[in-house]
Amino acid sequence: MGRLRFIYNRYLKRDPNFSGLMRVEVIIGPNGSVKTATVLSSNFGNSSFENDIINAIKRFKYSPINKGEVIIVYPIGFTRQS
Protein backbone atom coordinates (compact mmCIF):
# COMPACT_ATOMS: atom_id res chain seq x y z
CA MET A 1 0.00 0.00 0.00
CA GLY A 2 3.03 2.28 0.17
CA ARG A 3 2.78 2.96 -3.55
CA LEU A 4 -0.84 4.06 -3.14
CA ARG A 5 0.16 6.47 -0.38
CA PHE A 6 2.94 7.83 -2.62
CA ILE A 7 0.39 8.53 -5.39
CA TYR A 8 -2.00 10.17 -2.93
CA ASN A 9 0.76 12.42 -1.58
CA ARG A 10 1.52 13.66 -5.12
CA TYR A 11 -2.09 14.79 -5.50
CA LEU A 12 -2.18 16.17 -1.96
CA LYS A 13 0.67 18.54 -2.86
CA ARG A 14 -1.55 20.04 -5.59
CA ASP A 15 -4.61 20.30 -3.32
CA PRO A 16 -4.05 20.29 0.46
CA ASN A 17 -7.71 19.33 1.03
CA PHE A 18 -7.66 16.35 -1.34
CA SER A 19 -9.29 13.37 0.39
CA GLY A 20 -11.94 10.76 -0.19
CA LEU A 21 -12.97 7.16 -0.37
CA MET A 22 -13.07 4.74 -3.26
CA ARG A 23 -14.14 1.13 -3.59
CA VAL A 24 -12.08 -0.99 -5.97
CA GLU A 25 -12.95 -4.48 -7.19
CA VAL A 26 -9.86 -6.59 -7.81
CA ILE A 27 -9.97 -9.95 -9.59
CA ILE A 28 -6.92 -12.10 -8.90
CA GLY A 29 -6.02 -15.00 -11.18
CA PRO A 30 -4.72 -18.39 -10.06
CA ASN A 31 -1.09 -17.33 -10.58
CA GLY A 32 -1.51 -14.45 -8.11
CA SER A 33 -1.53 -11.65 -10.66
CA VAL A 34 -4.29 -9.05 -10.86
CA LYS A 35 -6.53 -9.78 -13.85
CA THR A 36 -8.67 -6.66 -13.46
CA ALA A 37 -9.06 -3.73 -11.10
CA THR A 38 -12.14 -1.53 -11.40
CA VAL A 39 -13.37 1.51 -9.50
CA LEU A 40 -16.84 0.65 -8.18
CA SER A 41 -17.37 4.02 -6.53
CA SER A 42 -15.35 7.10 -5.66
CA ASN A 43 -15.95 10.54 -4.23
CA PHE A 44 -12.53 11.94 -5.19
CA GLY A 45 -13.85 13.55 -8.36
CA ASN A 46 -10.47 13.11 -10.07
CA SER A 47 -10.27 10.46 -12.78
CA SER A 48 -6.49 10.89 -13.18
CA PHE A 49 -5.97 10.01 -9.53
CA GLU A 50 -8.33 7.05 -9.79
CA ASN A 51 -6.52 5.77 -12.89
CA ASP A 52 -3.13 6.11 -11.17
CA ILE A 53 -4.43 4.09 -8.20
CA ILE A 54 -5.91 1.39 -10.49
CA ASN A 55 -2.68 1.11 -12.48
CA ALA A 56 -0.70 0.64 -9.24
CA ILE A 57 -3.13 -2.01 -7.97
CA LYS A 58 -2.80 -3.91 -11.26
CA ARG A 59 0.88 -4.43 -10.41
CA PHE A 60 0.12 -6.04 -7.02
CA LYS A 61 1.13 -9.69 -6.62
CA TYR A 62 -0.72 -12.18 -4.45
CA SER A 63 -0.03 -15.76 -3.47
CA PRO A 64 -1.01 -18.27 -6.17
CA ILE A 65 -4.03 -20.51 -5.68
CA ASN A 66 -4.77 -23.96 -7.12
CA LYS A 67 -7.57 -22.91 -9.48
CA GLY A 68 -10.19 -20.31 -10.15
CA GLU A 69 -9.94 -16.67 -9.22
CA VAL A 70 -10.51 -14.50 -6.18
CA ILE A 71 -12.63 -11.34 -6.16
CA ILE A 72 -11.91 -8.72 -3.51
CA VAL A 73 -13.55 -5.33 -2.97
CA TYR A 74 -11.18 -2.92 -1.26
CA PRO A 75 -12.41 0.23 0.46
CA ILE A 76 -9.53 2.67 0.06
CA GLY A 77 -9.66 5.93 1.97
CA PHE A 78 -7.18 8.76 1.96
CA THR A 79 -7.11 11.75 4.29
CA ARG A 80 -4.44 14.26 5.02
CA GLN A 81 -2.34 13.33 8.02
CA SER A 82 -1.07 16.07 10.31
pTM: 0.91
Vertex 48: Cα angle to 19 and 42 (nearest 5)? 45
End-to-end CA distance of the chain: 19
The enclosing domain of 53 has a CATH number of: 3.30.2420.10
Number of domains in the chain: 1
Examine the pLDDT at 12 and tell me if it is beyond 90.
yes
C-alpha 71/C-alpha 15 separation (Å) is: 33
- Give me the mean pLDDT over the 10-28 stretch: 96
Domain around 8 = 2-78
The per-residue pLDDT for 69 is 95
pLDDT one-digit tens code per residue, 72-82: 999 999 988 76
